[in-house]
């Protein structure tokens, strides 16, 4: 007899997500469903508006993935117009997106998902000296000393002693699936608190260029609004550039010394989780950080890997790549929309067809995206595997570093690379990606300074909209994976707008061939020790870094009447 578990709300994510699983007598997940609980209709609001301001609206899809829907939107309109973007504007956007990615990854690990693995309360019984010894053996981070560990433990004692645990009151402290020794828990708690400060350096980089964070306001279709002038006030000048450089340097040590070693160090105690959460192993990732005005050269490679086999790697070289453009489709066979066919986003019809929750039929407002007819997983794991397959040296270097720490701490020198296709692997890949992004960020900053030094201060090419209909798509390898916006413009006004977001790729329901989506597939065979406290379900779902406000096609109307809605 299977037990059905509903987790609603799923916390420590962006947005409103509900997860249902069936757990069999062996204590393993046998079926899984994911369902979004909120819909806003922003695509509908965009119809008829000026394409030059679409990015202001789409950025509000999400305040966690802030910047990404703004950048992707201007790229989509620029693609439709065939508009070149000045090199300075490309580089400023690249600095913003890499800094944001670093912040997003740090916060996801330390502040959103770490408490799935770290028992904060257990840190109270740790020996601070041993915690410091462990931390110092992992890296040269200066805030790993015994005084720091003692101070954190004291702070924790005062907080727990107050009896007011606030957001931690509902935690899974003492859960049988928690495996870390008290000293590792204390070290991780210290880094949790330190990371709160460190992530803000990345926010400041975004804000000094974007005007604020979250939600930047320095973009324009055709470039950026920052004017570059070394001889004026109130513009991007040397003082602002040096400010950014200062924060880049401050981020560097934490990401490479702490984040990149904490994930494998914690993972070493949870090696069984390298055997759970595999799911879909077709990996899709797009190139990013365009280096020229036409978008022909990219700093970070993209591509597609099938069945987890790096030998199948097929490169995707530009944001305008036909292989990507023609390969994307969305299917509604198991979604509450009319039609069973997989359709291209430009041609997508989204007429609701609510049927109630049919376990084997239609059960979700999320569509199921496919790439050349197959399900694909997107996100940092896909990105890192694709970069490694493409021979990207920094990706190889930091993946080696993470694997070496994992092997050293677990004292198992034979852990294969295949261990990455897992719940814990997604966390490891995110840390590796953060380190890669740090190097990329440094390079983009240097290139910007060099380009300005050559006398180029261009930041904007004005868009001109033709009569008649044009269409375009914009692409970004966002922190949660491959993101694309698809726009149809008629006489200079938006006619159709569609976003195929990372959380749709990963959270989608079964497809036209009844194949489960990445969330669902990865949950199968997960253990669940206590159905009342399904911590293990959260571990696998959180490893994808869900962001549900982005996956705006979703709406749960269980037992509710739904009016006919045309989602464009």
Partner 1 sequence: MNEHDIERLERRLGMSRRDFMKFFAGLAATMGLSSFAAEAMAEAVAVQRKRPVVIWLHGQECTGPSETLLRAEHPTLERLLLDMISLDYHQTLDTGAGHQVEAAKEASMAANKGQYLLVVEGSIPTKDGGIYCKIANKTMLEHTKEAAENAAAIIAFGSCASWGGVQSSGPNPTEAKGVHEILPGKTVVNLPGCPPNPYNFLATVMHFLTFGKLPALDAQGRPLFAYGRLIHENCYRRPHFDAGRFAEEFGDEGHKQGYCLYKLGCKGPETYANCSVIEFNDISGGTWPIGVGHPCFGCAEKGVGFTKPLFSLADVKTHTPPAMFPEISQRQGSSGVGTGAALLTGAVVGAVVGATAMAAKKLNSTGDSDKQG
Q: Which stretch binds partner 1 (CB under 8 A): 159-167, 286-294, 320-328, 432-440?
A: 159-167
Distances (CA, A) of 405 to 257, 379, 482: 11, 22, 28
Count, residues near partner 1 per rule CB under 8 A: 104
Q: Is 372 left (phi over 0), alpha (psi -120 to 50) or beta?
A: left
Question: Does residue 217 belong to the site contacting partner 1 (CB under 8 A)?
Answer: yes
Q: With respect to partner 1, which residue has the nearer C-beta, 252 or 458?
A: 458
Q: Which residues, 218 to 257, sit near partner 1 by CB under 8 A?
A: 218-229, 232-236, 239-240, 243
Whether 495 contacts 47, CB under 8 Å: yes
SS3 per residue for 304-347? EEECCEEEEEEEECCCCCHHHHHHEEEECCCECECCCCEECHHH
Say how many C-beta atoms besides its own lie within 10 A of residue 27's C-beta.
14
* Structure tokens that stand for 267 in this block: 């993972």
Instruction: Provide CB contacts within 8 A for 435, sequence distance 6+.
Output: 255, 256, 259, 260, 394, 398, 401
Q: Which stretch binds partner 1 (CB under 8 A): 38-46, 74-82, 355-363, 441-449?
A: 38-46
Q: With respect to partner 1, which residue has the nearer C-beta, 180 or 385?
A: 180
Question: Does residue 397 belong to the site contacting partner 1 (CB under 8 A)?
Answer: no
CA separation for the pair 51, 76 (Å, rounded): 10
Q: With respect to partner 1, which residue has the nearer C-beta, 111 or 442?
A: 111
* Structure tokens that stand for 299 in this block: 């700093």
Question: Does residue 155 belong to the site contacting partner 1 (CB under 8 A)?
Answer: yes
CB 315, min distance to partner 1, A: 34
Whether 138 contacts 264, CB under 8 Å: no
Question: Does residue 407 belong to the site contacting partner 1 (CB under 8 A)?
Answer: no
Whether 549 contacts 535, CB under 8 Å: no
Q: Which residues, 102 to 121, sit near partner 1 by CB under 8 A?
A: 107, 111-112, 115
SS3 per residue for 3-36? EEEEECCCCCCECCEEEEEEECCCCEEEEEEEEE
Q: Which residues, 53 to 72, sit near partner 1 by CB under 8 A?
A: 53, 56-57, 60-64, 66
Question: Does residue 12 belong to the site contacting partner 1 (CB under 8 A)?
Answer: yes
Question: Does residue 291 belong to the site contacting partner 1 (CB under 8 A)?
Answer: no
Q: Which residues are part of the catalytic machinery?
A: 14, 62, 65, 69, 480, 503, 547, 550
CB 278, min distance to partner 1, A: 23
Question: Does residue 293 belong to the site contacting partner 1 (CB under 8 A)?
Answer: no
Distances (CA, A) of 32 to 6, 22, 360: 10, 6, 11
Judged by CB under 8 A, the residue of 16, 245, 344, 442 near partner 1 is 16
CB 56, min distance to partner 1, A: 6
CB 105, min distance to partner 1, A: 14
Q: Which residues, 447 to 466, sit near partner 1 by CB under 8 A?
A: 457-460, 462-463
Q: Which stretch binds partner 1 (CB under 8 A): 36-44, 249-257, 296-304, 310-318?
A: 36-44
Distances (CA, A) of 567 to 213, 548, 550: 29, 17, 14
Q: With respect to partner 1, which residue has the nearer C-beta, 79 or 189?
A: 189
Whether 548 contacts 503, CB under 8 Å: yes
Question: Does residue 353 belong to the site contacting partner 1 (CB under 8 A)?
Answer: no
CB 227, min distance to partner 1, A: 4
Token pair 């409103």: residue: 16
Q: With respect to partner 1, which residue has the nearer C-beta, 213 or 482?
A: 213
Assign 473 to helix, strand or coil. strand
Q: Which stretch binds partner 1 (CB under 8 A): 25-33, 178-186, 199-207, 473-481?
A: 199-207
* Structure tokens that stand for 403 in this block: 């694997």
Question: Does residue 52 belong to the site contacting partner 1 (CB under 8 A)?
Answer: yes
Question: Does residue 347 belong to the site contacting partner 1 (CB under 8 A)?
Answer: no
Q: With respect to partner 1, which residue has the nearer C-beta, 8 or 272?
A: 8
* Structure tokens that stand for 462 in this block: 């004005």
CA separation for the pair 22, 3 (Å, rounded): 5
Nearest CA among 197, 291, 202, 288 for reference residue 249: 202
CB 11, min distance to partner 1, A: 4
Nearest CA among 443, 459, 449, 455 for reference residue 89: 459
> Which alpha helices (DSSP H) does 176-287 contain, by range?
182-210, 238-253, 260-267
Judged by CB under 8 A, the residue of 146, 207, 271, 449 near partner 1 is 207
* Structure tokens that stand for 534 in this block: 């399904």
Nearest CA among 364, 324, 326 for reference residue 517: 364
Q: With respect to partner 1, which residue has the nearer C-beta, 302 or 463?
A: 463
Token pair 């699983």: residue: 21
Q: Which stretch binds partner 1 (CB under 8 A): 50-58, 292-300, 328-336, 478-486?
A: 50-58
Question: Does residue 361 belong to the site contacting partner 1 (CB under 8 A)?
Answer: no
Question: Does residue 42 belong to the site contacting partner 1 (CB under 8 A)?
Answer: yes
Q: Which residues, 523 to 552, sit near partner 1 by CB under 8 A?
A: 533-534, 538, 549
Question: Does residue 214 belong to the site contacting partner 1 (CB under 8 A)?
Answer: yes
CB 147, min distance to partner 1, A: 12
Question: Does residue 568 belong to the site contacting partner 1 (CB under 8 A)?
Answer: no
Question: Does residue 169 belong to the site contacting partner 1 (CB under 8 A)?
Answer: yes
Q: Is 166 left (phi over 0), alpha (psi -120 to 50) or beta?
A: left
- Residue 495 phi, psi (nearest 5): -105, -35
Q: What is the x/- site pattern for partner 1, positions 463-482, by CB under 8 A?
A: x-------------------
Judged by CB under 8 A, the residue of 3, 159, 310, 357 near partner 1 is 159
Q: Which stretch binds partner 1 (CB under 8 A): 279-287, 303-311, 503-511, 556-564?
A: 556-564
């Amino acid at each position: 007899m299977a037990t059905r578990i509903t987790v609603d709300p799923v916390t420590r994510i962006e947005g409103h997500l509900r997860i249902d699983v069936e757990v069999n007598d062996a204590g393993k997940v046998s079926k899984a469903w994911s369902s979004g609980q909120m819909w806003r209709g922003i695509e509908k609001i965009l119809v008829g508006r000026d394409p030059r301001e679409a990015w202001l609206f789409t950025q509000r899809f999400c305040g966690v993935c802030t910047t990404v829907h703004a950048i992707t939107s201007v790229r989509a309109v620029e693609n439709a117009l065939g508009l070149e973007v000045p090199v300075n504007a490309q580089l400023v956007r690249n600095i913003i997106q890499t800094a944001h990615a670093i912040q997003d990854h740090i916060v996801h690990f330390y502040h959103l998902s770490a408490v799935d693995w770290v028992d904060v309360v257990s840190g109270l019984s740790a020996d601070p000296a041993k915690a410091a010894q462990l931390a110092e053996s992992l890296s040269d981070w200066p805030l790993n000393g015994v005084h720091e560990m003692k101070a954190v433990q004291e702070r924790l004692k005062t907080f727990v002693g107050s009896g007011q645990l606030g957001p931690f009151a509902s935690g899974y402290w003492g859960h049988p699936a928690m495996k870390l020794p008290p000293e590792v828990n204390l070290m991780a708690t210290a880094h949790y608190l330190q990371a709160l400060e460190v992530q803000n350096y990345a926010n400041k980089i975004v804000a000094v260029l974007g005007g604020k964070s979250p939600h930047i306001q320095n973009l324009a279709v055709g470039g950026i609004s920052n004017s570059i002038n070394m001889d004026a006030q109130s513009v991007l000048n040397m003082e602002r550039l040096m400010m950014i450089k200062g924060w880049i340097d401050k981020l560097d040590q934490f990401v490479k010394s702490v984040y990149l070693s904490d994930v494998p160090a914690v993972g070493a105690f949870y090696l069984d989780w390298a055997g759970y959460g595999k799911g879909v192993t077709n990996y899709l990732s797009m190139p990013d950080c365009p280096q020229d005005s036409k978008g022909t050269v990219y700093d970070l490679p993209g591509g597609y890997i099938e069945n987890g086999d790096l030998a199948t790697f097929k490169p995707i070289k530009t944001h305008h790549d036909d292989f990507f453009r023609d390969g994307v489709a969305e299917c509604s066979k198991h979604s509450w929309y009319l039609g069973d066919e997989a359709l291209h986003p430009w041609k997508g019809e989204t007429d609701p067809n609510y049927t109630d929750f049919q376990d084997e039929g239609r059960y979700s407002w999320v569509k199921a995206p496919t790439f050349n007819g197959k399900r694909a997983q997107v996100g940092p794991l896909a990105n890192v595997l694709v970069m490694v397959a493409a021979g990207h040296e920094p990706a190889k270097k930091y993946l080696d570093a993470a694997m070496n720490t994992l092997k050293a701490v677990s004292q198992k020198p034979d852990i294969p690379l295949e261990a990455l296709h897992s719940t814990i692997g997604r966390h490891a890949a995110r840390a590796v990606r953060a380190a890669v992004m740090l190097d990329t960020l440094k390079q983009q900053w240097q290139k910007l300074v060099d380009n300005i030094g050559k006398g180029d201060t261009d930041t904007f090419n004005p868009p001109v909209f033709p009569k008649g209909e044009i269409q375009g798509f914009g692409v970004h390898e966002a922190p949660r994976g491959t993101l694309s916006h698809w726009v149809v413009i008629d006489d200079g006004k938006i006619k159709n707008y569609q976003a195929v977001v990372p959380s749709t790729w990963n959270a989608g329901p079964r497809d036209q061939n009844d194949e489960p989506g990445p969330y669902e597939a990865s949950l199968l065979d997960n253990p669940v020790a206590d159905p009342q406290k399904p911590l293990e379900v959260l571990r696998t779902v959180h490893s994808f870094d869900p962001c549900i406000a982005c996956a705006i096609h979703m709406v749960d109307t269980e037992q509710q009447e739904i009016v006919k809605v045309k989602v464009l």
